């Protein structure tokens, strides 16, 4: 995919059908957005992870709609090719009416091509409402950062048969409700592979093994900027390349060729 080719949801669906890996990263500002597009990143997730890597919070929970609109607009202002998915933050989609109003704001003021929400079967009605109003939706299953307090920390999900079956059912329910993409976070690679085969929409993994249709990392993690202990699925690409543009190009190449994630990055 060339950096000047506009990428649509249909493009990403076609890549799944053709077995072409999708390279995705988070971005939150104009400067990094231009570097990422030049390196061939095809899918941007303007994630509420910005609360931790930019704003200094301990979780994504304090991030507001104002925060998301501001950063999404920064990206949209210069973005030319990559498909833009923007997170609906914590407690911004508690019911269908609130979800619709906030999703419309992300599209109209933030320049989102698609909005992302966390949760499975319980979110099906909200997904139907949003897609029924012409707003594409990305689902998010497995580890849900907005619910991390309920888990008692950032833990791999779906390790036993019952939990794995529930995550698969969540993925299928989201697709049936109209979701066009699916992020899978911190689940066993075998489960991610099963879900990727079971659904017709592209799956984007983060800590979900090599058999997803695409991969995403938090930009600051893969550039070695984030301090402290990082999840095992994170690889520091700057350490091998010596510059930010080279690191991003190396990441894109590793995803496209299937060299990342390697076995040591999975569960």
Q: How many angstroms separate the CA atoms of 80 and 6, rounded?
A: 7
Q: How many angstroms separate the CA atoms of 232 and 203, rounded?
A: 20
20 is a catalytic site residue: no
Out of 185, 194, 240, 264, which one is annotated catalytic? 185
DSSP category for residue 20: P
The conformational region for residue 142 under phi > 0 = left, psi -120 to 50 = alpha, else beta, is: left
Q: How many angstroms separate the CA atoms of 137 and 180, rounded?
A: 6
- Residue 138's H or E segment, with its range, is strand 137-142
Alpha helices in 22-160 (DSSP H): 30-38, 50-53, 65-78, 96-108, 124-132, 148-151
- In angstroms, the Cα distances linking 148 to 10, 45, 103 are 32, 19, 23
Q: How many angstroms separate the CA atoms of 182 and 124, rounded?
A: 13
For residue 215, report the phi and psi dihedrals to the nearest 5 degrees: -130, 150
How long a stretch of residues is the chain? Answer: 267
- Residues labelled as active-site residues: 185
């Amino acid at each position: 995919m060339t950096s000047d080719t506009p990428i649509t949801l249909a493009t990403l669906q076609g890549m799944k059908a053709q077995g072409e890996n999708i390279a995705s990263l988070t971005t939150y500002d104009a400067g990094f957005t231009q570097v990422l597009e030049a390196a061939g990143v095809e899918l941007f997730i303007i994630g509420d992870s910005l609360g931790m890597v930019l704003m200094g919070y301990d979780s994504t929970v304090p991030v507001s709609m104002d925060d998301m609109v501001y950063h999404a607009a920064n990206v949209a202002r210069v973005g030319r090719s990559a498909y833009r998915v923007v997170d609906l933050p914590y407690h911004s989609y508690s019911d269908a009416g609130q979800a619709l109003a906030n999703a419309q704001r992300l599209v109209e003021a933030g320049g989102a091509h698609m909005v992302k929400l966390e949760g499975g079967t319980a979110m099906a009605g909200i997904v139907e409402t949003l897609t029924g109003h012409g707003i594409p939706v990305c689902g998010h299953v497995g580890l849900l950062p907005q619910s991390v307090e309920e888990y008692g920390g950032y833990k791999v999900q779906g390790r036993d048969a019952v939990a794995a079956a529930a995550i698969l059912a969540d993925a299928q329910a989201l697709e049936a409700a109209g979701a066009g993409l699916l992020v899978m976070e911190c689940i066993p690679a075998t489960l991610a592979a099963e879900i990727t085969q079971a659904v017709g929409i592209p799956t984007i993994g983060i800590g979900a093994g090599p058999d997803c249709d695409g991969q995403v990392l938090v930009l600051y993690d893969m550039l070695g900027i984030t301090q402290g202990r990082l999840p095992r699925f994170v690889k520091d690409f700057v350490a091998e390349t010596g510059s930010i543009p080279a690191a991003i190009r190396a990441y894109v190449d590793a995803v496209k060729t299937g060299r990342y994630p390697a076995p040591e990055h999975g569960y």
